[in-house]
């Protein structure tokens, strides 16, 4: 990889990273959301791998490999298993904020991220910090997905988007976190998804749907 094409590849990976986050808000189908999340995991791994190759750091490339396996492979697989195969559960039928409005909200959040990270980018302008706004935008969009969706599984995807964004921000702004911390976070993430998978199954057997609004009141 030459030094001239390095910013180009990084920009493309970051573009894909942000676009998949917007795509999650765009789609109703839960299976499509999971596919987009897997694609985003691949984009995140690509960002880290490009950084690693550019800095000639074997450690970063290995971390990228691990991230790719976990976020483009294992987590989407677990989420798909939690999805089950009942057709009534396959769609986000009535989100709290409708799709058109949440897309506009995503646009506003991206602009907010660009505005908020400008001082950070100005500290050390480089191609890597240049795409920091995209990572922060993914954090905000993930948080928005958590708030604006009803199904347990789409909230899980929102949470995972949030974490993808945080990981990308860490790698872009601080050239990565120590390997042991990254491993710990990844392990936590795996556990969270496993626990939520069990929770979704319990919800479905108890209420017949995975709509988290059903949990609003206490019953005996």
Partner 1 sequence: MNGTALISTAVQVLVVVAGAPLLVGLMRQVRARLEGRAGAGIGQPWRDLRKLLRRAPATPTGTGWAFRLAPLLLVGTSLVLAAVVPLLTTASPLDRAADLFAIVGLLALGTVTLALAALDTGTAFGGMGASREMTILALVEPTILVAVFALSARVGSTNLAEIVTTTQHDPLRVASPASLLAAAALLIVVVAETGRLPVDNPATHLELTMIHEAMILEYAGTDLALVELAASMRLTILLGLLTSLFLPWGIAGASLAALPLALAAFVAKVAVLGLALGAVEVFIAKLRLFRVPELLAGSFVLALLAVASSFFLV
| Residue 86: how many other CB atoms lie within 10 Å | 11
State which residue, 28 or 81, has the beta carbon closest to partner 1.
28
| Contacts of 81 by beta carbon, 8 Å cutoff, 6+ apart | 197
State which residue, 117 or 164, has the beta carbon closest to partner 1.
117
The residues of the shown chain that bind partner 1, judged by CB under 8 A, are 8, 11-12, 14-15, 18-19, 22, 26, 99-100, 103-104, 106-107, 110-111, 114, 121, 130-131, 133-134
Task: Tell me the C-alpha distance between 174 and 81, whole Å.
Answer: 35
| Least Å from the CB of residue 101 to partner 1 | 8
State which residue, 121 or 190, has the beta carbon closest to partner 1.
121
User: Alpha helix (H) ranges present in the chain?
Assistant: 5-26, 30-54, 58-68, 75-83, 99-123, 127-130, 132-148, 152-174, 179-207
| Least Å from the CB of residue 8 to partner 1 | 6
CA–CA distance from 1 to each of 20, 71, 97 (Å)? 25, 25, 43
| Least Å from the CB of residue 71 to partner 1 | 21
Burial 109-121, CB ≥16 within 10 A → b, else e: bbeebeeebeeeb
State which residue, 102 or 155, has the beta carbon closest to partner 1.
102
| Least Å from the CB of residue 130 to partner 1 | 6
| Least Å from the CB of residue 24 to partner 1 | 12
State which residue, 12 or 70, has the beta carbon closest to partner 1.
12
């Amino acid at each position: 990889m030459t030094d001239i094409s390095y910013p180009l590849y990084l920009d493309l990976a970051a573009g894909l990273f942000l676009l998949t986050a917007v795509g999650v808000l765009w789609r109703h189908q839960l299976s499509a959301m999971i596919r987009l999340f897997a694609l985003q995991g691949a984009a995140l791994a690509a960002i880290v791998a490009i950084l690693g190759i550019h800095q000639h750091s074997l450690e970063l490339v290995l971390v990228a490999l691990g991230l790719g396996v976990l976020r483009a492979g294992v987590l989407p697989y677990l989420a798909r298993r939690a999805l089950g195969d009942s057709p009534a559960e396959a769609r986000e039928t009535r989100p709290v904020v409708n799709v058109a409005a949440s897309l506009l909200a995503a646009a506003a959040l991206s602009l907010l991220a660009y505005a908020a990270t400008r001082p950070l980018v100005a500290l050390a302008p480089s191609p890597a910090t240049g795409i920091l706004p995209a990572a922060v935008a993914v954090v905000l969009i993930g948080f928005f997905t958590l708030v604006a969706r009803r199904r347990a599984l789409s909230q899980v995807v929102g949470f995972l988007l949030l974490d993808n964004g945080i990981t990308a921000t860490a790698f872009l702004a601080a050239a990565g976190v120590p390997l042991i911390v990254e491993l710990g976070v990844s392990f936590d993430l795996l556990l969270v998804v496993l626990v939520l998978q069990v929770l979704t199954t319990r919800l479905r057997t108890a209420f017949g749907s995975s709509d988290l609004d059903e949990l609003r009141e206490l019953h005996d």
